[in-house]
Every structure is written in C-alpha cells, then in structure tokens.
C-alpha cells in the first residue's frame, strides 16, 4: 500500500487559458495509506480524470504524482502496482469464479496454497463461496461484477484499489448490501481504496474521507460528518443532503445581517458585505413568533414522508425546506410560520467559501 500525493492540474486542451479549459484545476492533496476515500461530484467534474491520473492511465498536463514520496507521474499502472475495478465486469467468461479470482495472483506467481486461501477469503467476503466452481459465463450481471470487485481486492500487495462507479450495473437491493460489504472489507483487508461515484449515499456509506468535486475543483475533503455539519464550500452544502442546505442572500453590517428585509442579530462577528446564510433542513426549526434570529415565512407545502415531515415555506420569494418530526403539528398551507434561520448550526458563506 502507498500514500498517494497529487500536486497537479490537467487540461485535455493543449493551451489552457481559463479555468473552464481545465478538467482538473491546480490541486494539492494526499490519500493516506490504508484509507477509504470517495471522489464524489456531478458528471463532468473531473472524478475519472483524477482516478486515471492516479492509476497511470493518464499523465497530468502539469505537476506530479507521488507514491510514498516516489515520483510515478510517468509510470504505467503495472509499475504503480494498482488494481482497478470499472463500471462493467472485466472477467473471463470461460473460467470459473475461483480461476477468475485467482488470476491476478497467478500472474504474480503467488504460491498455490496462498492463492487458495486468499481466493477462499475473498469469496467468503463477497458471499460467493458456493459459486467458486461455476463458470462465469452462466452467471448474472450482478455476480459477474462481484467477481470483478473480488479480482480488484484479491491482491494484498497493491498500492491501492481504484473503483470507477463499480455498482452502476448492480441491482438496487444488492447495491445497498455491497456498499456496506465494501466498507466491512476495507476494515478487514486494510487496503487503500479510492472509489469514484456521483451518488452521495454510496460515497457517504463507503468512505472515511470524501473528496467533493465540482467543475474541476476538489472543494472539500472531509468525513461524512464534516460535509454535513461544516460544508466548507456552498456547493458541498447544496450537493450533500436530501434536500441540500437552504441558502438565503444577506447583507452583514454592524453585528447584524439583513435577510429577506429583516435585520437579524449575528451570533458572532462577521465581515461586512454580501454573504449567504446556509442552514440545513434538519436544523431549520419552527420558532415562536418574533423569536431572535427567526423569519416569518409562508407555508406552501407540507409532505408526510413517513420518517419525517418536510415543510416548504417561502420568505421574500426564497424557498426554505424544514425537516420536522413525524408527530409535530405543523401550520396549514397559506399560514405564517416562524423559522429559526440563525442558530448554532447556521453557516455563512462569502464568495462560496465558508466564513470561519
């Protein structure tokens, strides 16, 4: 296993002039030995580009890649000793499940007894022990992708295992099981795993550290808890959560912030000027009329979704969502509700960055 450091940028264009010419804007970050990471972001944000640079399929247009301090920028995937799992199964149909799992080990001339033991261990982890002697050709797409995952995980001497949206073809129910399984496997095998996905649930259940990306920038690297509680960038607030963070434009001055025409006292000193007030639906509580830090809003919708109720309200044309307990009595559509916009969980953003 290896500590992977990136200090680079990448453009697919020969003469990049502006930010939008870069698939990856200049970044400097490290993936620690034995960590479980997810690269999370919408389509086109640069996840696969970053993964391919780590694996050696792509040479960055500027900067370098280090594995345990060694410069591998121009080294091939084989030289870097990387295992990769792609969206679609990469297996041999004519081989049995056991032969497929053993393949990366036989290639490396691992002794047969060790191969048997490791293949047995991986098959058990992936709940495939009963299928070891079956030919891959007759198996379902799900089972074939499980073999691909197993082949990625079977070698214990790899620098890292890179996964590019590996559960895309998997049936939704099995997907849920496999996400948890991969996390468990990570704890047992202690491999460095880096997992690309655009699905936040997948990233948050799998990874200890999530790299959130947008438009070629890694805007935050943090635990799932960090991303929820302290989004460092407004994009993270918006992208993580279901629904994401509520944002209201405001103007800070003299210890107050003017939001939706109301002057609210700030909980701490903030620089004067335009900012955005961010509060997650989970923390947007109903408040008594006129409560300090709250705003009068008009209820436009109340949805009962079983585990909770989602209240939608508007203030000065801005929409706010509040997640409320299932048994809570909520005002009817058209009524006024006071929502606690400022509180201990409220975040403030200037130029999209979280104010400390």
Ligand X SMILES: Nc1ncnc2c1ncn2[C@@H]1O[C@H](COP(=O)(O)OP(=O)(O)OP(=O)(O)O)[C@@H](O)[C@H]1O
Site residues (vs ligand X, CB under 6 A):
12, 23, 41, 43-49, 198
Min separation Cβ 39 and ligand X, Å: 8
Does an H or E element contain 230, and which?
none
Angle at 75 between CA 74 and CA 79, to 5 degrees: 180
> Which residue's CB is nearer to ligand X, number 46 or number 152?
46
Angle at 207 between CA 79 and CA 155, to 5 degrees: 35
> Which residue's CB is nearer to ligand X, number 214 or number 346?
214
> Which residue's CB is nearer to ligand X, number 123 or number 221?
221
Q: What is the DSSP string of 23-74?
A: SEEEEEEEE-TT-EEEEE-STTSSHHHHHHHHHTSS--SEEEEEETTEE-TT
Min separation Cβ 199 and ligand X, Å: 10
Longest dimension (CA), the chain: 75
Min separation Cβ 79 and ligand X, Å: 22
> Which residue's CB is nearer to ligand X, number 168 or number 350?
168
Identify whether the C-beta of residue 250 lies closer than 8 Å to the C-beta of residue 257. Answer: yes
Min separation Cβ 4 and ligand X, Å: 17
> Which residue's CB is nearer to ligand X, number 12 or number 188?
12
Sheet holding 4-10, edge to edge: 24-31, 4-10, 62-67, 70-71
Min separation Cβ 184 and ligand X, Å: 26
Q: What is the DSSP string of 250-301?
A: EEEETTEEEETTEEEE-SS---SEEEEEEE-GGG--EE-TT-TTEEEEEEEE
Min separation Cβ 141 and ligand X, Å: 20
Min separation Cβ 354 and ligand X, Å: 23
> Which residue's CB is nearer to ligand X, number 34 or number 77?
77
**C-alpha closest to that of 197 among 168, 234, 223:** 168
Could you tell me the two tokens for 71? 């410069």
> Which residue's CB is nearer to ligand X, number 61 or number 134?
61
């Amino acid at each position: 296993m290896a500590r992977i450091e990136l200090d680079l940028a990448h453009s697919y264009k020969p003469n990049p002039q502006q930010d939008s010419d870069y698939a990856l804007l200049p970044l400097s970050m490290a993936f620690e030995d034995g960590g479980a990471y997810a690269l999370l972001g919408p389509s086109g944000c640069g996840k696969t580009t970053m993964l391919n640079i780590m694996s050696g399929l792509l040479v960055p247009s500027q900067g370098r890649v280090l594995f345990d301090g060694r410069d591998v920028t121009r080294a091939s995937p084989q030289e870097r000793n990387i295992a990769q799992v792609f969206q679609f199964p990469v297996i041999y149909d004519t081989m049995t499940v056991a032969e497929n799992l053993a393949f990366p080990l036989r290639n490396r001339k691992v002794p047969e007894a060790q191969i048997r033991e490791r293949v047995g261990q991986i098959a058990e982890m992936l709940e495939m022990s009963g299928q070891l002697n079956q030919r891959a050709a007759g198996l379902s797409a799900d089972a074939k992708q499980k073999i691909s995952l197993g082949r990625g995980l079977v070698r214990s001497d790899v620098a890292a295992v890179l996964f590019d949206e590996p559960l895309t073809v998997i049936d939704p129910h099995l997907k849920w099981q496999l996400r948890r399984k991969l996390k468990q496997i990570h704890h047992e095998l202690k491999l460095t795993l880096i997992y690309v996905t655009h699905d936040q649930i997948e990233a948050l259940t799998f990874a200890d550290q999530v790299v959130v990306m947008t438009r070629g920038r890694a805007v935050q690297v943090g635990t799932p808890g960090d991303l929820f509680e302290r989004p460092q960038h407004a994009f993270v607030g918006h992208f993580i959560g279901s629904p994401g963070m509520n944002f209201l434009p405001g103007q800070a001055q003299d210890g107050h912030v003017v939001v939706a025409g109301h002057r609210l006292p700030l909980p701490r000193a903030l620089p004067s000027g335009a900012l955005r007030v961010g509060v997650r639906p989970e923390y947007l509580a109903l408040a008594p009329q006129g409560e300090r830090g709250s705003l009068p809003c008009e209820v436009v919708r109340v949805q009962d979704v079983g585990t909770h109720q989602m209240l939608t309200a508007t203030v000065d044309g801005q929409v706010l969502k509040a997640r409320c307990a299932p048994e809570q009595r909520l005002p009817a559509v058209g009524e006024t509700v006071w929502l606690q916009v400022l509180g201990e969980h409220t975040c403030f953003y200037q130029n999209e960055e979280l104010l400390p």
